[in-house]
A = this chain, B = another copy of it.
Amino acid sequence: MSISKERILEYKKNFGLRVRELRESKGFSQLDLASEINVEKTSISRIENGRTNVTLVTAVKLANALGVELKNLFEF
């Protein structure tokens, strides 16, 4: 049973909101987080707005920078 495009979009959005939530609770700006994982600020903005199909490696770097376990990024 395949999964709809709408559901996949929802996952991207929820992942982005989760990153934003964790970033803000850490008191990081998008620029802070971007420089921690060596990407442009726009990349963080796109991730948080659900417009990026992030990879496992980027997720690992985000979790490391945010000081959380990888699975915490996917708790939504």
Q: Which residues of A does B touch, CB under 8 Å?
A: 1-3, 7-8, 11-12, 15, 36-38, 53-57, 59-61, 64, 70-71, 73-75
Contact = CB atoms under 8 A, between A and B. Distances in A.
A61 to B, nearest CB: 6
Given A2-B36, A11-B56, 6 more contacts: A3-B61, A11-B57, A55-B56, A56-B59, A71-B75, A73-B74
B57 A55 contact: no
A60 B2 contact: no
B55 A53 contact: yes
A76 to B, nearest CB: 8
6 contacts: A2-B37, A2-B64, A11-B56, A55-B56, A71-B71, A74-B74
